[in-house]
Amino acid sequence: MIDAYEDPGTPDRRGGWHYLWWLVLRQPGRSVAGAVLSMVWMVLLAATPYLMARAVDDGLQRDDTAALAGWTGALVVAGAVNSWVGVMRHRTMTRVRMDANFRTVKVVVDHVVRLGAALPRRVGAGEVVTIGVGDVQTVSRALTVIGPGVGSVVVYVVVAGLLLSVSPVLAVVVLLGLPVIAVLVGPLMRRLQGAEGEYRERQSVLTARIGDLAGGLRVLNGLGGKDLFADAFRRDSQRLRAQGYRVGAVTSWMQALGVGLPTLFLAVVAWLAARLAARGELTVGELVSVYGWTAVLVGPVAFLVEMGYDLSRGVVAARRVVRLLRVEPEADTGVLDGPAEPSVLHDPDSGVRVPPGRLTALVCARPADAAAVVDRLGRYEPSDVTWGGRRLDAIRLREVRARVLVADNEADLFAGALRELLSGRAEHADAEIARALRAAVAEDVVRGLPDGLDSPVAAQGRSLSGGQRQRVRLARALLADPEVLLAVEPTSALDAHTEAAVADRLYAARAGRTTLVTTTSPLVLDRADLVHHLVDGKVAASGAHRDLLTHDPGYRNLVARDTGTPDTEPRPDETPNTREAVR
């Protein structure tokens, strides 16, 4: 079975069937062993009626005790051997399924990690969750075809050959029966694929909505929109339920036919055998063997129908996996080195210029416009942004990611110890972590946890408050100490007292480093060296915070937190970058 750190290989992304075949080829020895063991197991099951027939004809009818004992002993040996083969077959096929499961998980996780920040822009969260929760299991289950599936086909042919030695009529009926069943079940399989595919699509959409509701329930409740979204979710869930009923209807028919058709078909074989025995064309032992072979065939024929059902669902799931694997990260077309010294970041689309070594702020009535500027400056969207006079998209992407960090206030927080959450892949001394926590005013977060930095934190920081999560994200960004830090609304969830402390400490921690923040907080803006006021995504005014308060009415209306006239004169003990923000 695949090791946790083993390379899963390069998956075949041409389609669902190709992906399933790739999973088989990645474990050829185990796949062949599963097929061989399944064939031996089922053939020995078919040999049991033959041995029983010989015991009846040679032992009972001829009153030959030695022959009866010999055939009975052969039955016991065959049963014992087949019990061991059955255990090994089940163990091998379990390993086949588990390997396919873990390999698919590794392939999907590796690809998701490779997509990085492009993932939420290209694939919905519900799609990824649905693949991880449901489709992976369905894909692995489809691989049972290489074990019992192959064995069922082989035993079907073997029994048909044995029946041919007894009665050609019975052999012909058996050989023609399977194609008839396939003709009856085939249309249901195609219908199942369509219904299953639509169901999975609806399921991924609803899963994404559940995540959105869980993350924004407090905001929705505060805005009075909880009932509106609850009604929309209720309608979507009812549609999903109705689609599930359609999938269940097709599935129930396939399962009913999988049991009923083989039983009916083999009942015909048994009836014909009884007629032949009544006319004296079959011996008693042969009649017993025909009944035994009929019973043996019920399982393989039913499994072939079930195999078609599993394959239909497996192909649908594999197609969804392949569709995710086909999503490619942003192409790295850069061939140039970045500027050797701290340089200006310039976004021509908005007119924003981020001077090196200073704290710059973006103010906008629509946060999405400011976030769009940050995405372009961080090279997460196609743009004409330049860095030190060179186009940002012409610089190697690896270098851009190493030197320019976008700190989103909704960035993911993975489950684990707080120390690991803050440090990421790098190792940092406790003193470095302490400085970053102090700069983000997050020391109380550590003090409030039972084991300090070694305390576990739930996924997405759900065990922390909103303000604590925001400060932890900021501390993580400051600990990374990038050359250029682009922070989106780093203080939006903080109270005024904490926000003021963060503003002061952020300015000190990033002294001499290029920093840009998007905010409308006067507490933060008063510490900025340069403020850009954006209107409809374009720079309408630039300057110091207090100058803009005086000369830009639109800016003043956006950021002022009271209706009084701001006092633009600093106190004697204040400097332009440390005086208290206007209230």
Give 190-246 pLDDT, tens digit per residue.
Answer: 666 566 666 666 666 666 666 555 555 554 455 555 566 667 777 777 877 777 777
Residue 382 or 544, more confident? 544
Ranges of beta strands (E only) in 342-410 are 345-347, 352-354, 359-364, 386-387, 390-391, 404-407
The predicted pLDDT at position 459 comes to 83
Say if residue 132's pLDDT is above 60. yes
pLDDT at 313 over 70: yes
Mean pLDDT score across all residues of the chain: 81
Mean pLDDT (whole number) for 524-553: 93
Phi-psi label, residue 291: left if phi above 0, alpha if psi -120 to 50, beta otherwise: alpha
State both tokens at 307.
């195999």
d(CA 189, CA 253): 10
* Cα angle: 273, vertex 274, 279; to 5 degrees: 100
Read out DSSP for 290-321? HHHHHHHHHHHHHHHHHHHHHHHHHHHHHHHH
> Does position 1 have pLDDT exceeding 60, yes or no?
no
Token duo for residue 493: 């969830």
The 10s digit of each residue's pLDDT in 267-288 is: 777 788 788 888 877 777 777 7
Mean pLDDT in residue range 333-360: 93
Per-residue pLDDT band for 247 (boundaries 50, 70, 90) equals confident
**Is residue 390 helix, strand or coil?**
strand
Which range scores top for mean pLDDT: 290-294, 309-313, 350-354, 447-451? 350-354
One-letter amino acid identity for 540? A
pLDDT of residue 119: 77
One-letter amino acid at 237 equals S
Say what the pLDDT of residue 120 is. Answer: 73
Specify the residue for token string 């007894």.
166
Residue 425 has pLDDT above 60, yes or no: yes
Residue 485's DSSP bridge partners are 405, 515
In whole angstroms, give the CA distance from residue 70 to residue 229. Answer: 75
Token digits of residue 384: 């004409």
At 58 the pLDDT is: 75
Asked if pLDDT for residue 579 goes beyond 50, the answer is: no
pLDDT of 179 strictly over 80: no
pLDDT at 567: 40
Angstrom CA distances, 235 to 127, 201, 238, 262, 286, stand at 19, 16, 5, 41, 62
Which region among 43-47, 136-140, 224-228, 437-441 has the lowest average model confidence (pLDDT)? 224-228
Asked if 447 contacts 308 with a C-beta cutoff of 8 angstroms, the reply is no
- Residue 88: how many other CB atoms lie within 10 Å: 15
At residue 573, the pLDDT reads: 38
284 vs 1: which has the higher pLDDT: 284
**Higher pLDDT residue, 295 or 437?**
437
Rg (the chain; Cα; Å): 35
Q: What is the β-pairing status of strands 484-488 and 352-354?
A: unpaired
75-121 confidence digits (pLDDT tens): 888 889 989 998 998 899 889 989 999 999 899 888 888 887 777 77
Residue 293, pLDDT > 90, answer no
Q: What is the mean pLDDT of residues 112-138?
A: 76
Lowest mean pLDDT among 21-25, 73-77, 500-504: 73-77
Query: Residue 557: how many CB atoms within 10 A of its CB?
Result: 9
Q: Rounded to an integer, what distance in angstroms lies between the CA atom of residue 546 and that of residue 560?
A: 11
